[in-house]
Structure 1
Amino acid sequence: MCGLLALVCAPETPVTDDLIDAVAGASHLMRHRGPDEPGTWSDGRAVLGFNRLSIIDIAHSHQPLRWGPPESPDRYTLVFNGEIYNYLELRALLARDHDVTFATEGDGETIVAGYHHWGPDVLTRLRGMFAFTIWDTVTGELFCARDPFGIKPLFVATGPGGTVLGSEKKCLMALADRLGIDTDIDVRAVQHYTVLQYVPEPETLNVGVRRLESGSYARIRPGGRPEITRYFRPRFSAVPFRPDDEQARYDEITAVLEDSVAKHMRADVTVGAFLSGGIDSTAIAALAIRHNPRLITFTTGFEREGFSEIDVAVATAEAIGARHITKVVSPAEFVEALPEIVWYLDEPVADPALVPLFFVAREARKHVKVVLSGEGADELFGGYTIYREPLSLKAFDYLPPKVRRSVGKMSKPLPEGMRGKSLLHRGSLTLEERYYGNARSFSDDQLRTVLPHFRPDWTHVDVTAPIYAESAGWDPVARMQHLDLFTWLRGDILVKADKMTMANSLELRVPFLDSEVFAVASRLPLEQKITRTTTKYALRRALEPVVPPHVLHRAKLGFPVPIRHWLRAGELLDWANHMINTSQAGHLIDLAGVRRMLDEHRTGEIDHSRRLWTVLIFMLWHAIFVEGTVVPTISEPSYPVQL
């Protein structure tokens, strides 16, 4: 796990010592991603920078990594962020079929050798999380790629001076003036963020900076723009269960998860696990302890009753035999850490759960260098409660479209909060109209009160329509899962997981988001994912021998955060007032409208907590990265190279 930076200069841009120093300086901004070893390399056409967090083959596998075939031993230069969990198997295959010899014991060489012999097809063989760039000194071309699910980030920006790619946007922004990159605020992306609570790929809040999307690769030549190709298109293709093979299908789920966890445990350093009160993280920890009996698990919570899963996590750790460490976060700590957290994020993400994740990652890094976590299980196995909505609205499917619309009109005059109003409204809409992913907090009317630039044609449809088009004909739950893979998962879940752990020089691995696990999960029929009484039905059945009974059917909570209460009194209310009073983002956010929302929330008139959090985090982002009025204190704890 590391931080990479790669610059392909335009033909007119001279690669001077000053430019190389500038790339090294920009790379230093993400030293938290790899404090063990920095590195910079150039051949006069490209400049590659790197910060290494050594996990495998610590004494070797330095980057930028040079590799080539016998006739051209230094042809390629690699910078690589991530882990390839089947690298041992791929090394053996390359040695057998192509007589490849390796100078290191790491996974980086496997990527480059695989690319040389298989071309872009190497991506379909890699089992892991990755963002990497390979500079080919013979062809003068940069090849870059991201893993299928978007676990690891890769930002891209092109200007007259060249194209730059990096693990963090702040590094690209540091080179923007030199390369002529447009850093103006993208007001359309601001509206998308406000609707969705994150900035959807490939957008960022700066016009000239984009993201290479998950499951894609690009080729870049000096003076040209990236030529992007999608190599992974997830498909949910249900295979019905037969009565005589039901248990075999559950056993298949257990086996593929056990294999994934075993491969995710590969490291030359200590591996721990995050543990909440839910089935996903518990399953990962319970399988991991089979490979490391001294496994340490970590959880976090708050002092306020109902906003902590510590007691459940402690009981779970005891049941599986793990040593457990907890971190309780106070309101004062929460508020004090916000500027630092948003600086690490690069782009605003309005998910309060990233704050406790930041703290538990900081605590975990005192003990381990790698943690496993349960992200991705909900999207693959049908874990969100909202996935049950198509069952509750099924009766509306039998109504003619005009009748459905009439039902929706009938619901409008009904008083807010009246039983049945929401059901009638949602039932009148198609799936594409009502489901944006796991994120919507503002209605269009509410958006008008906080966005001076509101455009009714800049909606969630910009983001969701192309994704829905790829799932036409699937069952509604599969379509919702597919949408979340491209929206909520990679826009929120994986961003906060990457940024909050990397902020603390901690590698997070997600065994559910594995190509072999997806292959099994994608074949589950609807009734094995969602029933009227539960979610993740097949996964729960498969994990009966693995997960303690007190967790098996427990409702999902994650890391709940009491912002609803804290925004009514105390430190968070004081912070919110200060942000509104001092913000210079009034041309992008209607500060008077936000003030009204805060007053209504404070008095208990309306619960605006998630909407307030969305705009307040944007204001903080703007204060840090645009105004410069908030300067975070970036703590740099000193960790040993190997744990």
Structure 2
Amino acid sequence: MCGICGFVDNNFVEKQDTLSNMMNKIIHRGPDSSGEYIDEVAALGFRRLSIIDLADGSQPLYNEDKRFVLTFNGEIYNYKHIREKLIEKGHTFKTHTDSEVLVHGYEEYGTNLLSHLRGMFTFVIWDNVEKTLFGARDFFGIKPLYYYKKDDLFVYGSEIKSILEYPKVPKILNEKTLEQYLTFQYSPPSNTFFKGIKKLPPGHFFTLKDNELTITRYWEPIFNEKDGNLDDFVNQIDETIKGSIAAHKISDVEVGCFLSSGVDSSYVATCFNGDKTFTVGFDHEKYNEIDYAKDLSDKIGIENFSKVITKEEYWDVLPKIQYFMDEPLADPSCVALYFVSKLASEHVKVVLSGEGADELFGGYNIYKEPVDNATYHKLPLYFRSLFARIATALPFSFKGKNFLIRGAKTIEERFIGNAFIFSEEERKNLLSITTSAKSPFEFVKPIYKKVFNKSDVTKMQYLDMHMWLVGDILLKADKMSMANSLELRVPFLDKEVLNIATKIPLKYRITKDTTKYAMRLAANKNMPDATAKKKKLGFPVPIRIWLKEEKYFNIVKTEFVSDNSKKFFNEAPLMQLLDEHKLNKKDNSRKIWTVFMFLVWYKEYFD
């Protein structure tokens, strides 16, 4: 696991100092060593966290005649197999790293190299003969890659803060992204909070030649349900996940595992055959999973390391969190992820984690909605629309009001992902600025079009793979682990696991009683019933409680009435959110947190 950065600029002479500054900004991603390549056109920088071939794995790496230059961030889990094939074709290797198969593989296969890979990655390869830069991001978007392109300048990096070190890259807030963020709680693909800086989408590669940038999609998940016996699916799932966990343990250093109370991390921890698990919790009974994690670790004979995060620690670290995130993220669990990564980094360099299982196997509780409401949706749309109009017109709340309103909408009209913070009307009322941002439903429409003929649950999973998984789950996993120089691996997000997950029929994914039905049965073969059947909780954080306490209420209030806040927000609706929450009139904690995290981030990057 490493960090990469660089640029292509024919008209820039201060390449060495600039590249060094860019590399220094991401030293936390690779504190073990550094490397660089500079010629008259291009500069490639690299920071290394040593995992495989500790002695000889430094980058950049080259092919035999040094025409192709590689810098790479990630892990290729099937590199030994690829290496054998390339040696048979006459390639000569100088190291035993997984990295080197990429440069020889590109020389041999060109862009088709990507179809051979199993792993997580972003990498760039500079062809110093053709003066062409090639770069790619992994299938699911586990590792990030940002870029800036204007005229004859191209700058890229694993983190935005590195790109901002380039003197020709302006630091200008993208206000359209701010408006979208207020709904999604993260910056949705492919733009960022900085004008001109973009994200390379998952499953895409780019080619830069003669100042022309071409971006191409090389892979996408395809759901192709198959009829079959439940027991057969369960056995295939268990076999495939165990195979993926084994592949993800390839390392020359010790590998540990994160462990919460959920079935996903418990499944990985039970099967990874390691010695250490890591857990954090809070000093509230409902927000502490440490006792559970210790109990499971004891049962499977693994040592558990844990930490209770205090309120003071949580709030004090918020500016640092938003700095490392590059962009504001309003998911409260990213702070907990920072602390568990910090804890793990004191003992190991690599951890396994359970991200991705919910998207692949149908684990979020909201996925049950189409199944639970199937009977109501058999009513003609005319009647459902009538009930929705009546419910909307009533000035008071009542049990079932939201059900009636949502019941008249298609899945495309009511679901934009696992977070829906501010509606389009609410965010317009909140903002003191005007932008041309699309409505959230218009934003996700192109993704829905690709699965127009699938079930509603499948549509939700597919959307979350492209939005929530990339914009929130994987982003915080990468940034919080790398902030602590820790490599985080996600065995559920593997091509082989996806291959079986996308074949599972709906009836084996979601039932009236549970989510991830078939996967839970597979997990149950390896762990206690109570763990395998445990309801999805996420990573609970007590911000709802803290925001009612005078100290933290006033911390947020200070930001809400600040000069920075006045640049973007109307003060009255912000204070209404705070007061309603403190007086127990409404739970506005997620809305308050979304605005507050933006203001904390803005202070870090623009003050």
**Would you say same fold, with TM above 0.5?**
yes
Give 1:234's match in structure 2, choosing from 208, 221, 227: 221
C-alpha separation in 2, matches of 1:61 and 1:436: 42
Q: Which runs of 5+ in 2 are unaligned?
A: none
Q: Aligned Cα RMSD in Å?
A: 1.5
- In 2, the alpha carbon distance for the partners of 1:76 and 1:158 equals 22
Deviation sequence 1:425-458 (CA, Å, 0-9, x none): 1101110010010010112342233212356962
Deviation at 1:41, TM superposition (A): 1.2
What does residue 40 of structure 1 align with? Answer: 36
Native 8 Å contact 2:15 2:38 kept in 1: no
Q: What are the within-5 Å matches in structure 2 for residues 130-529 of structure 1?
A: 130-160=121-151, 162-175=153-166, 178-179=167-168, 181-224=169-212, 226-241=213-228, 245-289=229-273, 292=274, 295-414=275-394, 416-453=396-433, 458-529=438-509
- Per the alignment, residue 115 of structure 1 pairs with 106
Check if 1:613 corresponds to 2:593.
yes
Measured after TM superposition, the shift of residue 485 of structure 1 is: 0.2
1:493-642 equivalences under 5 Å are 493-626=473-606, 628=607
Aligned residue among 94, 117, 136 for 1:126: 117
8 Å contact 1:193–1:200 — kept in the other structure?
Answer: yes
Partner of 1:641 in structure 2? none
Q: State the one-letter code of the partner of 1:24.
A: S
CA displacement at 1:583 relative to structure 2: 4.2
State the distance in 1 between where 2:332 and 2:551 align: 15
Q: Give the partner amino acid of 1:484.
A: D
Match of 1:2 in 2: 2
Any idea what SS the aligned residue of 1:306 has?
A: helix
> 2 CA distance for matches of 1:402 and 1:491?
36
Q: Distance in 2 between matches of 1:457 and 1:360?
A: 36
Q: Is the 8 A contact 2:259 2:266 kept in 1?
A: yes
Conservation of the 8 A alpha-carbon contact between 2:146 and 2:158:
yes
How much does 1:207 deviate? Answer: 1.4
User: What is the letter of the counterpart of residue 45 of structure 1?
Assistant: V
Deviation of the 1:359 alpha carbon:
0.6
Partner of 1:93: helix, strand, or coil?
A: helix
> 1:517 and 1:129 mapped to 2: Cα distance?
14
Distance in 1 (alpha carbons) for counterparts of 2:77 and 2:442:
35
8 Å contact 1:8–1:222 — kept in the other structure?
no
Distance in structure 2 (CA, Å) of the matches to 1:187 and 1:169: 17
- What is the distance in 2 between the residues matched to 1:31 and 1:488? 28
Give CA-to-partner distance per residue, 1:54-99, whole Å, 9 cap, x none.
Answer: 100010121111223xxxx101111100000110111112222x12
SS at match of 1:174: coil
The one-letter amino acid of 1:207's match is K
Q: Which residue of 2 aligns with 1:88?
A: 80
Instruction: Describe the SS at the equivalent of 2:286.
Output: coil
5+ residue gaps, structure 1? 629-643
- Asked if structure 1 preserves the Cα contact closer than 8 Å seen for 2:361 and 2:509, the reply is yes
| Mean CA deviation greater in 607-616 or 151-160 | 151-160
Instruction: Label 1:222 to 1:49 Cα distance change in 2 as closer, same or farther (>3 A).
Output: farther
**1:636 aligns to what?**
none
Alignment of 1:13-52 (within 5 A): 13-14=11-12, 16=13, 18-52=14-48
C-alpha spacing 1:593/1:354, structure 2 compared with 1 (3 Å): same
CA distance in structure 2 between the partners assigned to 1:538 and 1:429 by the alignment: 29
SS of aligned partner of 2:488 = strand
Whether 2:71 is the aligned partner of 1:79: answer yes
Asked if structure 2 preserves the Cα contact closer than 8 Å seen for 1:192 and 1:199, the reply is yes
Matched, 1:67 2:56: no
- Return the offset for 1:309: 0.8
- TM-score of the two chains, using structure 2 as the length reference: 0.97
How many correspondences in the alignment? 607
Return the alpha-carbon distance in structure 2 between the equivalents of residues 339 and 589 of structure 1: 20
Measured in 1, the distance between the counterparts of 2:535 and 2:412 equals 27
TM-score, scaled relative to structure 1: 0.92
Contact 2:76/2:121 (<8 A) preserved: yes
